[in-house]
Amino acid sequence: MSLFVTFSASCAVVWLARAVLRLYFHPLSTYPGSRIAAIAPSWYEWYWNYYHNGELIFEIERQHSALGPVVRIGVNELHINDPEIFLEMTKAGSKFTKVSKLYSVISFPGTSIGFIDPTGHCIRRQVLTPAFSPARVRELAPMIQNKVNTLVQRIQTTNAAHPKTPLDAFTFDLISTIVLGQDFKCVGHPLYKNEFVEQLHKAFDMGWTWTAFPNLTRLSMMLPDWLSKTVFPIPILFFKEAYQNRLHEWTQDPGMMRSVVIDMLMDPNLSKDHSVLTPQQLNDEVIMLLTAGNDTTSNSMILGIYQICRNPAVYERLQKELLAQFPHKYAEIDLEDCKRLPYLNAFIREVLRFSSPIPGRLPRIVPSEGFRLYDKLLPSGIVLHTSAYMLNRHSEVWANPHVFDYLMFANLFCRFDVAIYDTLDVDIQWIDLILSCSKLRIDFRDI
């Protein structure tokens, strides 16, 4: 008993000493923020993201409102809500890098999303960019238009409400065709069934554990798979396992439509330093591309349709412009004509600002030479977080940041994350939104 008491007392002393060190003698001790976050960030994140169901980003936003553009959210972590600092961190040639402990559990190493080194990321981006370029998007316009028509027909002939959103099925059919060369025909399924998205959402539901308990996550990834599943299951590994064999079959099927993306990844001549991917690396990259291209687009489409329905002025202005260009209900929606409609394009820009498809924190590590944050020099290794959700609602950039107002489109700041880690599929998301919103608004003009 005395041994247990001694051990407990020793642990308490160590914990208190560490708490005092983090609060009063740490390089970040002068920055405002939650004391609990500075002492025990894992439990702080557990409290807001589990007990309060994902409210951490809004709690950080409240702290910024009260404490200023810089708040401390962890032992070595600051959250920045300043557009100028964001641009400085993400400019071309920036030496800020991704946080490996986060990206190792939300993506796979060696993928376009999982690369920690900006050089490796840029090489992979050079390989993939032609598959998502504006020219390639124009080639895909007829395919996207046909899928929009199929979606509209399904909605018109469906009487009962479905628990699945047809937009998830719609965007997955598109991204699977682009990445794998195969249309999964989820829109045609009676229940819009989409097994990939179901598995993805299961992983997202437990995603907070990756950042809240990084040490346990790293330990779990070092264990054998059978033991890891029991001790501390990692959702992304379940997700990978569920689709690994299936994706291998799809990519090896000689009768499957050829995929431009896969062909590019397997071509050693597309970039000077590009190495042909192994089957495992190809599988990982395909999973990441399918993941990145699905929910981001469908969430933006859902928000766009929601804003049309709840704002009569937006509804009337958009419908008037579309009907003037396409007066016949069953007219084909031409992409080039849509791109010349000022209000439609302003609406799409505002949807991208307001939806912030990646709303959470985007951490970057201060480089070896340090970083001057206002009047203080931050040492190497400090982690700086930014959030597209907050930057797209920053009061110095937008007059009414929390109001859906298409007039603000001219000053669009950031859609996802920019500069050295910019997203690949912005052009595809843009055309998805243009064609789908136009077609849905015309065909359901009387609803």
* Closest to 302 measured CA to CA, from 429, 141, 414: 429
C-alpha–C-alpha distance, residues 146 and 355, integer Å:
26
C-alpha–C-alpha distance, residues 58 and 42, integer Å:
17
DSSP state of 49: I
Read off φ and ψ for residue 80, nearest 5 degrees.
-110, 130
- CB within 8 A of 307, min separation 6: which ones? 314, 350, 351, 354, 404
Domain residues for the domain of 361 are: 76-443
Q: Do residues 270 and 127 lie in contact, with contact meaning Cβ atoms separated by under 8 Å? A: yes
Token pair for 153: 């027909």
C-alpha–C-alpha distance, residues 388 and 379, integer Å:
25
Q: What is the three-state SS of 329-382?
A: CCCCCCHHHHHCCHHHHHHHHHHHHHHCCCCCEEEEECCCCCEEECCEEECCCC
Token pair for 425: 């599929």
- CB within 8 A of 301, min separation 6: which ones? 167, 170, 171, 432, 433, 436, 437
Q: Please state, in angstroms and as integers, the Cα–Cα distance from residue 369 to each residue in 117, 365, 383, following that order.
A: 17, 11, 14
Residue 304 lies in a domain: yes
Q: Report the number of distinct structural domains present in the chain.
A: 1
Which residue shows structure tokens 């190792």? Answer: 104
CATH number at residue 251: 1.10.630.10
Residue 24 lies in a domain: no
Enclosing H/E stretch for 118: helix 118-128
Helix intervals (H) in 95-234: 100-106, 118-128, 134-157, 166-180, 195-205, 208-212, 214-222, 225-231
Residue 27 lies in a domain: no
Residue 270 lies in a domain: yes
Residue 36 lies in a domain: no
Residue 371 lies in a domain: yes
Residue 223 lies in a domain: yes
Indicate the angle between helix axes 279-310 and 312-325, nearest 10 degrees.
110
Residue 259 lies in a domain: yes
Sequential pLDDT tens for the chain (447 residues) = 578 788 888 888 888 999 999 999 999 999 999 999 999 998 898 899 888 888 999 999 999 999 999 999 999 999 999 999 999 998 888 899 988 877 776 777 788 888 888 888 888 888 888 887 778 878 888 888 888 888 888 887 775 555 456 888 888 888 888 888 888 888 888 888 777 777 766 666 666 566 666 666 666 666 666 666 666 666 666 666 666 666 666 656 655 555 678 778 877 777 778 888 887 788 888 888 888 888 888 888 888 888 988 888 888 888 888 888 888 766 777 777 888 888 888 888 888 888 877 767 889 999 999 999 999 999 999 999 999 999 989 988 888 889 998 776 744 444 444 443 455 555 556 556 665 665 555 455 544
Q: Is the full-model pTM beyond 0.85?
A: no
